[in-house]
Every structure is written in structure tokens, then in C-alpha cells.
């Protein structure tokens, strides 16, 4: 059973001690590819180092995460713009979006940064990987003018309502990213997923965060994705193999990548 982790931060310092073992466990679990979203200028070097070391298995994205946006956002954008203009190794613009959970101080700046990166995704014909936390309406309003264009991508870590899902799926080229949250005891996501076509979801870990049951509370890693996969199969009432195959196809549709085997 082969499947893809569409969102993992295994280049962060949490993996400095045992990254080779983390990669090996992922392979043994059936993970064929790991897609790595960037955070900001401080993480690009680490991100590229891991992707070069595990070329053909780990794939880099480039973008500015909304929680990294402050009054000096133009410097961060300039670095991303330079990377996009000088390298064709990036598979997506990400992780981008809006986050109002921690702080609303820089909402206007976050919107500018998000909108700019949407335009770059269109210019370079790359998918978008979108982070949204306590910012659904703002995300929808920023993206609405682009609804009929050729944008594609993933709404990362979807945890919204059926109504939220319906509105996001108006963007035909987008999938909803589902991670370990779906396994949490009080999560509403299992009920919501029953209303979402399996053809519109992809799997992700968001490692080292959002670890699924039975490892909740510990560091997440790509090998744990199988627990999310098993839970999704249970929700849809189909085999894990079908979920693995369909979500891999959905991922490849967004990113235009060939399917790998392990």
C-alpha cells in the first residue's frame, strides 16, 4: 500500500538527530513521496539540504508562512521571488495563507503577502499550499477573484464545517488536506468528511505537529500517516488500499508528479 505525505516539515530541528531513521520508517510504512512546504527565509537552507539529500523522495516548496509576516514582510517576499525566478526545483508555492489564531496585528500585511504569492503561483504555473487558521472568511475573500483562473493546490489541514468545505471546493483545482486531527476523539472532521468526495482529499502529516492517535502528544513523522489513512478508510467505509490509491492520484493531479513506488 503506497501513499503520499503532502505536507511535512521534517527539515526542522526536531529531526536533526534521527532524520535517516525517520525517512526509513516512512519508506517501510509505504510513503512514496514527502512534500515539504517552506516557512520563511530562515528555513530555506535546511529545506533544500534535506531535499537534495533525499532527492526524488522529498520535494521542496517555497513561500512565506503567515505567522512569519511582520512589518519587514517585503524582505521575505523578495527572497521568495528570487528563489522562484532562479530555480525550477520548487513544486509549489507554499506554505502561504492567513493565520489569526495567535495575533491579528499584521492582518493587512498577511493579506498582501498571501495575494502576492497567489499571483506568483499563477505566473509560474505552480500549485498553492494554503494555511488557514481562524481566517476562513478572509481566505475566501482574497481567493474569490481568482476562482475562474487556473489556480490549483491544497487547503492544508482542513478542519472546517460542511459549509466551509462546500465553499472551498468551489475552487475546482483544489483538494482538502486531511491529517491526524481526523483521529482525535472530539474532532468533528469524521462527520464532515462523509459529505466530501474522496476525489477531493489528500493525506498529510504536518510533521512534527498534529500527531494522530495512537501517538498523539509525541513528535509526528511521515510513517504515522498510515493511522490517518486507516481512519479515513473507516469513515468512508472502504478499504485503506482504495484511500491510498485515490489520495495519491489526487496529489499527483495537483502537483503533476509521477507516482513513485517503495
- What integer best gives the mean pLDDT of the chain? 97
Whether 258 has a pLDDT exceeding 80, the answer reads no
The C-alpha atoms of residue 212 and residue 217 are separated, in whole angstroms, by 9
| Mean pLDDT calculated for residue range 211-226 | 98
Domains of the chain: 3-16+28-255 (3.20.20.140)
Please name every residue paired with 155 in a beta bridge, in sequence order, or none if there are none: 130, 176
The C-alpha atoms of residue 60 and residue 149 are separated, in whole angstroms, by 24
Q: How confident is the model at residue 30 (pLDDT cuts 50, 70, 90)?
A: very high
Determine what percent of the chain is predicted with pLDDT higher than 70: 100
The C-alpha atoms of residue 69 and residue 114 are separated, in whole angstroms, by 10
Whether 262 has a pLDDT exceeding 80, the answer reads no
Whether 259 has a pLDDT exceeding 90, the answer reads no
pLDDT at residue 19 in the model? 98
Q: What pLDDT digit, counting tens, does each position of 126-184 carry?
A: 999 999 999 999 999 999 999 999 999 999 999 999 999 999 999 999 999 999 999 99
Would you call 67 helix, strand, or coil by DSSP? Answer: helix
Please name every residue paired with 176 in a beta bridge, in sequence order, or none if there are none: 155, 201
Q: How confident is the model at residue 260 (pLDDT cuts 50, 70, 90)?
A: confident
Whether 52 has a pLDDT exceeding 90, the answer reads yes
Q: How confident is the model at residue 261 (pLDDT cuts 50, 70, 90)?
A: confident
- Show the beta-strand stretches assigned E in 70-211: 93-99, 128-133, 153-155, 174-178, 201-203
Tell me which of 77 and 258 has the higher pLDDT.
77
CB 244 within 8 A of CB 262: no
CB 23 within 8 A of CB 57: yes
| Mean pLDDT calculated for residue range 2-9 | 98
Write out the DSSP string of 189-239: HHHHHTTS-GGGEEE---BTSSPPTTSTTS---GGGHHHHHHHHHHHHTS-
Would you call 178 helix, strand, or coil by DSSP? Answer: strand
Whether 112 has a pLDDT exceeding 80, the answer reads yes
Amino acid at each position: 500500500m503506497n501513499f503520499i505525505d503532502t505536507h511535512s516539515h521534517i527539515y526542522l530541528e526536531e529531526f536533526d538527530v534521527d532524520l535517516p531513521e525517520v525517512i526509513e520508517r516512512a519508506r517501510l510504512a509505504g510513503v512514496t513521496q514527502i512534500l515539504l512546504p517552506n516557512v520563511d527565509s530562515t528555513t530555506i537552507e535546511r529545506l533544500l539540504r534535506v531535499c537534495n539529500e533525499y532527492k526524488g523522495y522529498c520535494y521542496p516548496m517555497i513561500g512565506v508562512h503567515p505567522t512569519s509576516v511582520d512589518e519587514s514582510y517585503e524582505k521575505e517576499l523578495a527572497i521568495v521571488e528570487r528563489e522562484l525566478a532562479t530555480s525550477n526545483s520548487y513544486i509549489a508555492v507554499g506554505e502561504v495563507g492567513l493565520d489569526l489564531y495567535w495575533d491579528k496585528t499584521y492582518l493587512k500585511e498577511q493579506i498582501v503577502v498571501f495575494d502576492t504569492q497567489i499571483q506568483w503561483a499563477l505566473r509560474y504555473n505552480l500549485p498553492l499550499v494554503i494555511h488557514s487558521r481562524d481566517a476562513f472568511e478572509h481566505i475566501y475573500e482574497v481567493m474569490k477573484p481568482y476562482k475562474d483562473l487556473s489556480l490549483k493546490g491544497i487547503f492544508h489541514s482542513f478542519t472546517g464545517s460542511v459549509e466551509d468545505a462546500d465553499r472551498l471546493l468551489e475552487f475546482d483545482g483544489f483538494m482538502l488536506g486531511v491529517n491526524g486531527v481526523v483521529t482525535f476523539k472530539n474532532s468533528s472532521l469524521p462527520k464532515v468528511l462523509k459529505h466530501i468526495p474522496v476525489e477531493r482529499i489528500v493525506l498529510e502529516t504536518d510533521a512534527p505537529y498534529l500527531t494522530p492517535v495512537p501517538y498523539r502528544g509525541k513528535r509526528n513523522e511521515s510513517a504515522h500517516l498510515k493511522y490517518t489513512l486507516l481512519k479515513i478508510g473507516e469513515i468512508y467505509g472502504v478499504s485503506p488500499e482504495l484511500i491510498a490509491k485515490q489520495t495519491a492520484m489526487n496529489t499527483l493531479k495537483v502537483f503533476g508528479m509521477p507516482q513513485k513506488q517503495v
